[in-house]
Amino acid sequence: MIHFIGAGPGAPDLITLRGAKLLGETDVIIYAGSLVNPALLDRRKDGCQVYDSASMTLEEVLGVMETAEAEGKDTVRLHTGDPSLYGAIREQMDALDAKGIPYDVTPGVSSFSGAAAALRAEYTLPDVSQSVIITRMAGRTPVPEGEGLRKLASHGCTMVLFLSTGLLDQVERELMTGGYAPETPAAIVYKATWPEEKVFRCTVSTLAETARREHITKTALITVGGFLGTDYDRSKLYDPAFTHGCRKGSEP
């Protein structure tokens, strides 16, 4: 059996209870060494085989899984954050389906949640933004036409950019051409939830300059939007005057 597990964004106690249990019981671990905190490996049992997928191909990863399966062993495939985001798990699952190898998936805390915690922010503020766009700047990995950053920027909503820290000059240009004002608040969150976590608040027009000044080139998320500002409406849910299914408001 193969268990795909979200390791969480970095802090080793941000893996789920289910993920931690499976990690402690498994015979083989294949972990994404470039981003998963190696401290998580301390949970492994004696004799557990460990592979770092950072230098492996998909075929090699599948080979390890297949061998383990033939030997009646369990394998944990440990992905950073939540595996459904930029995790390349679909191709692994499809290959396992084709080979008839069973698997399950345990979700994880994504780094975009870790970044909000680091920022002490709420992505969805009433009257500011009720939508979050999770995307990346097209680089060596292309982005489908129609999802270009400039186009997405036209919504003006909360945006979280993965895998784009090395491309901030283009990010800035696309965001501003698309519709964000240069002074729109932005933040770079480096290694959210790790001991080295750093938060740099800036504006859309100073993203690249900020990253250069602070020497941030990777393992960071770029967050953009009015949610980082000071103005918002309070929620209806906790407004004394507002009636809803669980509470009667003070005014009709």
Taking a C-beta distance cutoff of 8 angstroms, is the pair 251, 241 a contact?
yes
Report the residue number, 41 or 199, with the smaller CB distance to ligand SAH.
199
Q: How many CA atoms lie within 13 A of 250 on its CB side?
A: 5
Report the residue number, 69 or 114, with the smaller CB distance to ligand SAH.
114
Q: How far is the CB of 190 from ligand SAH (least distance, A)?
A: 6
Distance CA 196, CA 123 (A): 23
Report the residue number, 123 or 162, with the smaller CB distance to ligand SAH.
162
Tally Cβ neighbours within 10 Å of residue 72. Answer: 8
Report the residue number, 86 or 242, with the smaller CB distance to ligand SAH.
86
Distance CA 53, CA 32 (A): 5
Q: How far is the CB of 77 from ligand SAH (least distance, A)?
A: 12
Report the residue number, 194 or 227, with the smaller CB distance to ligand SAH.
194
**Residue 81 pairs with which residues in a beta bridge?**
8
Q: How far is the CB of 250 from ligand SAH (least distance, A)?
A: 42
> Residue number with the shortest CB distance to ligand SAH?
81
Binding residues vs ligand SAH (CB under 6 A): 9-10, 35, 79-82, 85-87, 110-111, 114-115, 162-163, 189, 191-194, 218-221
Taking a C-beta distance cutoff of 8 angstroms, is the pair 34, 54 a contact?
yes
SS3 134: strand
Length of the chain equals 252
Distance CA 119, CA 196 (A): 14
Distance CA 55, CA 66 (A): 18
Report the residue number, 12 or 87, with the smaller CB distance to ligand SAH.
87
Q: How far is the CB of 226 from ligand SAH (least distance, A)?
A: 21
Report the residue number, 29 or 85, with the smaller CB distance to ligand SAH.
85
Query: What is the DSSP-derived secondary structure letter of residue 244?
Result: B
Taking a C-beta distance cutoff of 8 angstroms, is the pair 184, 204 a contact?
yes
Angle at 95 between CA 93 and CA 98, to 5 degrees: 110
Q: How far is the CB of 84 from ligand SAH (least distance, A)?
A: 7
Q: How far is the CB of 210 from ligand SAH (least distance, A)?
A: 15
Distance CA 20, CA 7 (A): 9
Q: How far is the CB of 6 from ligand SAH (least distance, A)?
A: 7
